[in-house]
Amino acid sequence: MTGRTYSVSLTVNGRPHTLDVPAHHTLLRALREQLDLVGTKECCTEGECGACTVLVDGQAVDSCLMLAVEAAGAEITTIEGLADGDRLDPLQAAFLETGAVQCGFCTPGMIMTARYLLAQDPHPTRAAVQEGISGNLCRCGGYNRIVDAVLAAAEAESS
């Protein structure tokens, strides 16, 4: 493509990458289009739905609200980076157990937010989880099973 691009070096799921991106491309687009990491989803592109949530240096952020160029030097974790080969992350396993997955479109964002929440507080209350995932919209389910899953994972991880 034509137009100015910038070279951005970053680490994604433990692997170093150097990307050439125009300034206006968001981190979300760079992940999906250049790194083929399509697990992170695009929906509202204005920070209202959380479908694009990833971890940037351990912080849960809406990747649609970050320019790819801002991610220079950062360590990004996406949904693809959670499982260890065939071994699912406890959150992933818990989501399956409790029936927290229906269409699955909100799921990657939910799990990344939950990963962050549990890193901040390994023993959250139900209310804290409900508050914590309130930036992730789900239209299929009623959120309760997602909250159940996060609490179940918290318990599994602490034992």
Partner 1 sequence: MTAGASPFGQSIARVGGVERVTGAQRFTADLKLDGVLHVKLVHLPVGHARIIAVDTSDALEVAGVQHVLSAADLPQPVPRFGPASRDRPVIASGEVKYFGEPVAAVAAESEDAAAEAAALVRVEYEELPGVYSIEEALAEGAPLVQHPDLRGDTPLAHTNLLGEWHFGWGDVDATRADVVIEGTYSFPMVSHFAIEPFATMAAVQDGVVTVWSPIQHPFVLQRVIADVVGLPVSSVRIIAPDAGGAFGGKGYPKYEPLMAFLALRTGRPVRLVLSLEESFQASRRAACTVRARTGFDREGGLCFQDLEADFLIGAYADIGARVVSKASYTASGPYRTPNVRIVARGVLSHTVPSTAFRGFGVPQLAWAVESQLAEAARRLGLDPLELRARNLARKGEDFIPGDTPADGDWEQALRRAAQAVAWDTPAPAGRGRGLAMGLKSSATVSVSNAIVRLHHDGSVSVLVGTSDMGQGARTVLSQVAADELGIPVDGVRVVMGDTSVVPFDTSTSASRSSVFSGNAIGLACRDLRGQLCSIAAELYGEPEEEIRVDGGRVHVHGEGLAYGALLKDYFGPSRGELIGVGRCRARYLPEHPLGGAPSFWELVAVACEVEVDETTGEILIHKLVTVSDVGKAINPQHVEMQDEGAAVMGLGHTLMEHLILDEGGRISNLGALDYRIPTSRDLPLEMATFMVENQDGPGPYGAKGAGESGILAVAPAVAAAVQAATGVRIRDLPLTPERVWRALMEKGLSEQPIV
Partner 2 sequence: MRDWTRPATSHDIVSTFAYHRPGTIAELWQLLAESAQGVKLLAGGTDLLVPVNKGTELPRVVIDLKRLDLLRSDISAVGGHLRVGALNVLTDLIGDPRIGRHFPALLEAAAAVGSVQIRNRATLVGNICNASPAADTAPALLVFGAVVNILGSRGERSVPLEEFFLGPGLTVLQPAEIVTSIDLPLPPEVNGSAFVRVTRRRGFDLGTVSVSCLLVPGAAARFGFGAVAPRPLLAVDDTITLGDPDADPTEQSEALDHLLEVSSPISDLRASRDYRLAMLASLSRRALQLAAQRLRSARNGAAA
- For partner 2, the binding residues (CB under 8 A) are 1-4, 6, 22-24, 26, 45-47, 50, 53, 59-62, 64-67, 69-70, 72, 113, 116-117, 132, 134-136
- Measuring CA to CA, how many Å separate 28 from each of 76, 116, 148? 11, 18, 28
Q: Which of partner 2, partner 1, none is residue 69 near (CB under 5 to 8 Å by kind)?
A: partner 2
The interface mask with partner 1, positions 88-117, x = CB under 8 A, is: x---x--xx--x-xxxxxxxx--x------
Nearest-approach distance from CB 156 to partner 2, in angstroms:
22
Written as one letter, the residue type at 34 is Q
Classify burial at 21, counting beta carbons within 10 Å of its beta carbon; exposed 0-12, middle 13-18, buried 19 or more: buried
Q: Quickly count: other Cβ atoms within 10 Å of residue 145's Cβ.
A: 19
CA atoms of 27 and 68, how far apart (whole Å) = 4
Q: Which of partner 1, partner 2, none is residue 155 near (CB under 5 to 8 Å by kind)?
A: none
Nearest-approach distance from CB 85 to partner 2, in angstroms:
28
Nearer to partner 1, 16 or 142 (CB): 142
Task: Verify binding: residue 151, partner 1, rule CB under 8 A.
Answer: no
Q: Which two tokens stand for residue 127?
A: 């209310």
Q: Which of partner 2, partner 1, none is residue 146 near (CB under 5 to 8 Å by kind)?
A: partner 1
Nearest-approach distance from CB 62 to partner 1, in angstroms:
11
Classify burial at 87, counting beta carbons within 10 Å of its beta carbon; exposed 0-12, middle 13-18, buried 19 or more: exposed
Q: Quickly count: other Cβ atoms within 10 Å of residue 108's Cβ.
A: 25
Strand 6-12 versus strand 75-77 pairing type: parallel
Nearest-approach distance from CB 109 to partner 2, in angstroms:
9
